[in-house]
Amino acid sequence: MENNIGPDRAERFASQIQDQGYSRHSIKQYRTTAEALLTAMLKANLGPADLTEDRMDQLMVPIIDAASVKDKKYCRYRINRFWDYLIENAGAPPRSDPPRDMSPRACLKREYETYLRVQRGLSEDTIYHCLRFYDRFLTAKFGAGLGDLNTIRPDDITGFILWLRKEQNAPRDKTGPSHLRNLFQFLFWSGKTERNLSNAVPKARQPKPTGIPRYLEPEEVNRLIEVVRNHEKTGRRNYAMLMLIARLGLRAPEVTAIELDDIDWRAGEILIRGKRQLHDRMPLPVEVGEAIVDYIKNERRGPDRALFVSAKPPFKKFKDAQILRWILRDAYDATGISPPQAYIGTHILRHSLATDMLRKGASLAEIGDVLRHRSAMTTTIYAQYDVDALRSISRPWPTSGDAQ
């Protein structure tokens, strides 16, 4: 623990920033900002132990005011980073927790969050979106506060969904209705409403599949995968990520969820963190393993335990899986391949793998195992015109004695 103020403190802080992989220019800015705060502390005869939140507000205002208009936001961020450093290393008092919102709406939201996590066992990503729709619907109905929940009527729900679809221009989006059903099931379950309004949420009309999902030919998939390797800074990472989808049929969120410890190199297996918190172990093909090793050895940086991390300091894991959609979009542009559907998503690689397996004689049961479908019926979309493939997952007709 450091106790005195010295010019070396800014240098040590800058070294920490350097270890996180920041550029020389950024390191210099962090050092300069730290030195400015230390100078202000010396003039005010303050030590780290005196850095209460009120004192810090007084010290940082002149420093931020002196920064350029373009740099003011980043200057505040750098000061806060140095403040955290002083808390961890120099005995500065910790920041106080922000006052907890005890309004009825905020209390209900925390109760709803606990229900989603404990009772329903939903993923953090799903919980985040459920809470967003909690706020959006209640704001549409009651404004900023919380009114009588029993005054919610089916017309309120229908009107909200119609407005939502008009705003988002997505008439067949089923996520909004799904999140609202979770909300109304919670309100009824917890006794907040007298009726279960989840039954009043209209369903999004989904067209029935009329054939095998759209897909890419194997040579097109290979071209898309290969072209991403050309990127100077992220080529190895992007190539390894797309290989996991194209060769193992992973979903995009499953790729970004992989951690370094999930790979058993001796056994040649990889742990997949799938939907509904289900985990599966899958064999790791040699070409996929080699791509991951190449990325880890030659491109990956930072201490984060996630396998795939951002190329920018401080090299953190991705907040969501949108990065893969952007990678595939750029690959289409680079190769000139026309996407087989308007929405550019990585699920097309998963469909392409299944279609290629079907063409090569794989049974539906085998395809379902690779794609980790929990229901055999999910896999039947790949064999609507292949009766022999459908027989591979059919069950024997129930019999009683000699009767059939």
pLDDT above 90: percentage of residues in the chain:
64
Could you tell me which residues come within 8 angstroms of residue 21 by beta carbon, excluding any fewer than 6 positions away? Answer: 301, 302, 313, 314, 315
- Residue 361, sorted as left (phi over 0), alpha (psi -120 to 50) or beta, turns out to be left
Q: How far is CA 116 from CA 19, 100, 126, 127, 300, in A?
A: 39, 20, 9, 6, 35
Residue 335 buriedness (CB in 10 A; 0-12 / 13-18 / 19+): middle
| Residue 13 contacts residue 31 (beta carbons within 8 Å) | yes
- pLDDT tens digit string along 221-230? 999 999 999 9
| DSSP category for residue 236 | H
CA distance 157 to 169: 18
Provide the β-strand partners of residue 281: 271
**Tokens found for residue 148:** 């009588």
- pLDDT tens digit string along 107-151? 999 999 999 999 988 878 789 889 999 999 999 999 999 999 999
- pLDDT tens digit string along 17-39? 998 889 899 999 999 999 999 99
- pLDDT tens digit string along 235-251? 999 999 999 999 999 99
Residues with a catalytic annotation lie at 251, 275, 347, 350, 373, 382
- Average pLDDT over the chain reads 87
Could you tell me which residues come within 8 angstroms of residue 76 by beta carbon, excluding any fewer than 6 positions away? Answer: 60, 64
In angstroms and rounded to an integer, the radius of gyration of the C-alpha atoms of the chain is 27
- pLDDT tens digit string along 297-349? 999 998 899 999 999 988 999 988 889 999 999 999 999 999 888 778 898 99
Q: Cis bond leading into 314, ω under 30°?
A: yes
pLDDT of residue 11 exceeding 70: yes
- Predicted TM-score of the model (pTM): 0.70
CA distance 297 to 293: 6
